[in-house]
Amino acid sequence: MTFDLGFETSQSTICDHMLDIARSGATFKHLSYTSFIGFDPTDDVVQTFLDRCQVTSLRLTMMRGPYIPPQPDYMVGKVRQVDHLELGEVVDKPNIFNSLVTYENVFKKVFPNVQDIHYFQHW
Contact (CB, 8 A) for 60 and 84: no
Q: Give the pLDDT confidence of 19-60 residue by residue, as tens digits.
A: 999 999 999 999 999 888 778 888 889 999 999 999 999 999
C-alpha gyration radius of the chain: 14
The pLDDT of residue 89 is: 94
Mean pLDDT of the residues in the chain: 87
pTM of the model: 0.85
Per DSSP bridges, beta strands 57-62 and 30-35 are parallel
